[in-house]
Structure 1
Amino acid sequence: MSRSVLVTGGNRGIGLAIALAFAEAGDKVAITSRSGELPEELAKHQAIAVRCDINDAAQVDAAFTEIEAANGPVEVLVANAGITKDTLLLRMTEEDFTSVLDTNLTGTFRVVKRASAKMMRARKGRVVLISSVVGLLGSPGQANYAASKSGLIGFARSLARELGPRNITVNVVSPGFVDTDMTAVLSEERRKEIVSGVPLGRYAAPAEVASAVRFLSSDEAAYITGAVIPVDGGLGMGH
């Protein structure tokens, strides 16, 4: 049965792969991004794109209103939108820190809160938050990003307890290094260094992250909530 699915930050990289996976399965897919552009790959599936900055509560509410009018209340929410501002602690400004927390953590709070109201009325729903192996493993120069991504885990597990009685599951997918535009800018030396620490010896494909998200959103995962699913080639084992 076709569901109303929203993927934030769904215009490129991991978010686009996730949106495509749902669209190819026949779901009604909406994506949000700051640009509001609809990638060609999604246009083929009659997906819709809505301009939305998740740092703005009014824009979040307006985006949901538009999506609900087109596709019905959101039944599957994938909170993927996020930013990085990497630098070592002593060079990190307060704005570097707070802007990453505001987008990655508080922005996620805004979209989950807006989606969960309708899910609670329907007494069903799936929420998947996209964290990162860095959230528990840590990474030099990413104190702000790591803090935001580990915060998503505590947020998700609290909501899993809160929303579980209404048949709403809340889970986290924690990717490792994924072959996207963001990682393509790394030097060959740095890429080799990263891969050397990954037991499977390679980067993930975005579609591999999307597969985990689709599973957690499926009927087969109806009894899984509060889980953190790593898609990191073994990089974060033990964390």
Structure 2
Amino acid sequence: MFDLSGKTYLVTGASRGIGAATAKILLESGACVVGSYASAPGNLDSLVTDYGSKRVLPVQADLSQMGAAHQLWEQAVAFNGHVDGLVNNAGVMPEAYVSGSDEDWHASWHTTMMVNIQSVADLCKYAICHFKPRGGGHIVSIASRAAFRGDGIDYMHYAASKGAVVSLMRSIARGYARDGIYGFIIAPGWVKTDMAAVAYEPGNEWMLDEIPMGEAAPPSDVGNMVAMLMSGNVNHATGTTIDINGASYVR
């Protein structure tokens, strides 16, 4: 376990899945967490009960809307007067059918790009401006193996958004390392979350059969990696992508 006492982290999409697991692990390590949620606080309510309102701040933020990222960042900084690290985890994956109408196609692409990359870019911008005068900080963005191998034909927009996240983080790592700002990418495959529920439906056994380990990764695998990257013990790994996919995609 890493000692993150005195640190404050913003974790987007922290109401469930990877975000909730990450928030819990950071709290167990001694940190304070500002966790965003889209519609319902979910597991964040339990974290407030367990760790107290002085260490956990749930914030509602619809990251598909312009300006939501800025409001979220301002609330995160106001919580303790500073933010030491940003975890860009929030993401959406609506279907986008090539055979569908242009209106539906554009709507799915727009929402996906707003949540998965525009809000990520906005939060990174605010984080960089906050970190520079403080001597540095850490940013971890959750991408996907889809950024490297592509995705299904109904999820090309999702793969494209995650590919953009990878390029964004690599640029940040290269551009701001001398300022003590370090950026990392985690690229999960199937993870045991609500978003991956389709892999457990009858007839979709092949989705998990392709994983050499035979099962989806627990969200804690991602959360533990985030805590390590935030700890400052591996800063020279800035710019790297860490695959957590049970060897289903090996680069």
Question: TM-score, normalization: structure 2?
Answer: 0.89
Q: Give the secondary-structure state (helix, strand or coil) at the position aligned to 1:128.
A: strand
Asked if structure 1 preserves the Cα contact closer than 8 Å seen for 2:186 and 2:242, the reply is: yes
1:127 to 2:132 alignment: no
Match of 1:215 among 218, 221, 228: 228
SS of 2:62 mapped into structure 1:
coil
Alpha carbons 1:36, 1:50 under 8 Å: kept: no
> Given that residues 11 and 37 in structure 1 are in contact (C-alpha distance below 8 angstroms), is that contact kept between their aligned partners in structure 2?
yes
Q: Which amino acid aligns with 1:42?
A: L
| 1:90 is the counterpart of 2:90 | no
Which stretch shows the higher mean deviation, 192-201 or 4-13? 192-201
C-alpha offsets along residues 82-140 of structure 1, whole Å, 9 cap, x if unaligned?
Answer: 11112443336122122211210111011111121111111110000000111111121
Q: What is aligned with 2:213?
A: 200
| Alignment partner, residue 46 of structure 2 | 41
User: How many residues get paired?
Assistant: 237
- State the alpha-carbon separation in 2 of the partners of residues 72 and 188 from structure 1: 49
Whether 2:203 is the aligned partner of 1:189: answer: yes
Amino acid at match of 1:196: D
Greater displacement, 55-64 / 118-127 = 55-64
Alignment of 1:164-179 (within 5 A): 164-179=177-192
The CA deviation string for residues 54-88 of structure 1, in whole angstroms up to 9 with x for no partner, is 23443322222222222222111000111111244
Cα contact 1:5–1:29 (8 A) shared by 2: yes
Which letter does structure 1 place at the counterpart of 2:70? Answer: D
Moved over 6 A (4+): none
What is the CA distance between 1:189 and its match in structure 2? 2.4
What stretches of structure 2 of length at least 5 have no aligned partner? none
1:146 aligned partner: 159
SS in 2 for 1:16: helix
Stretches of structure 1 that go unaligned for 5 or more consecutive residues are none
Q: CA RMSD in A?
A: 1.6
In the aligned structure 1, how far is the partner of 2:78 from the partner of 2:66?
19
